[in-house]
């Protein structure tokens, strides 16, 4: 069975972070659905999404939110699917408040937290989880690492040619 990734953002002002995740998922051929549900402004819709996620074919949830970011934790409280939290930079505190709100979950309800605005890594981590049951996806992730490796080697070569006479 192929699982979808369920992506939730607390506000459409988080969309630029989510687009980093969706483009990464698309490049790996992973299906996803995207919603705006807020832990504070639409708590019932957020909760219902989490409670229905498993039966709706979702295998991993990505939750992006800024400020007092309770979204990932509140979704995680309502499902045993893995939840990946993206703290978003959205206030005068630069995202550190969202990082701490997302990462500092009490024992019993984990949220796998990526970097502030870390949409790409959230997508890659969700892909790595889904790849446990999907050999084709596992191979795509290995290919992705190889491409990344070759890109950095090429950059080193270019920089060395310019500066290391």
Q: How far is the CB of 68 from ligand RP5 (least distance, A)?
A: 8
Closest by CA position to 17, among listed 111, 98, 92, 80: 98
Q: How far is the CB of 7 from ligand RP5 (least distance, A)?
A: 13
Site string for ligand RP5, 71-110 (x = CB under 6 A): -----------------x-x--------------------
Instruction: Quote the CA–CA distance of 99 and 89 in Å, as a whole number.
Output: 9
CA distances from 122 to 39, 44, 45, 145 (A): 19, 24, 22, 15
Q: Which of residues 22-41 bind ligand RP5 (CB under 6 A)?
A: 38
Q: How far is the CB of 6 from ligand RP5 (least distance, A)?
A: 16
User: Site for ligand RP5 (CB under 6 A): which residue of 10, 73, 85, 95?
Assistant: 10
CA distances from 30 to 74, 103, 162, 163 (A): 25, 26, 39, 41
Contact, 85 vs 72, CB < 8 A?
Answer: yes
Q: In this chain, which stretch among 63-71, 120-128, 130-138, 155-163 interacts with ligand RP5, using CB under 6 A?
A: 63-71
Q: How far is the CB of 121 from ligand RP5 (least distance, A)?
A: 18
Closest by CA position to 36, among listed 61, 57, 60, 65: 65
Residue with tokens 């795509």, as numbered in its chain: 140
- Footprint of ligand RP5 on this chain (CB under 6 A)? 10-11, 13-14, 38, 65-67, 88, 90
């Amino acid at each position: 069975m192929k699982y979808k990734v369920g992506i939730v953002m607390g506000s459409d002002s988080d969309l630029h972070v989510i687009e980093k995740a969706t483009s990464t998922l698309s490049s790996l051929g992973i299906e996803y659905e995207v919603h705006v549900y807020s832990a504070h402004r639409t708590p019932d819709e957020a909760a219902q999404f989490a409670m229905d996620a498993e039966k709706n074919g979702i295998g991993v949830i990505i939750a992006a939110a800024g400020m007092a970011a309770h979204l990932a934790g509140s979704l995680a409280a309502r499902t045993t699917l893995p939840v990946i939290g993206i703290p978003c930079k959205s206030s005068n505190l630069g995202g550190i408040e969202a990082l701490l709100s997302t990462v500092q979950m009490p024992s019993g309800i984990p949220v796998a937290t990526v970097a502030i605005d870390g949409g790409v890594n959230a997508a890659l981590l969700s892909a790595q989880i889904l790849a446990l049951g999907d050999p084709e996806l596992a191979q795509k992730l290995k290919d992705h690492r190889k491409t990344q490796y070759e890109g950095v080697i090429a950059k080193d070569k270019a920089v060395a040619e310019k500066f290391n006479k």
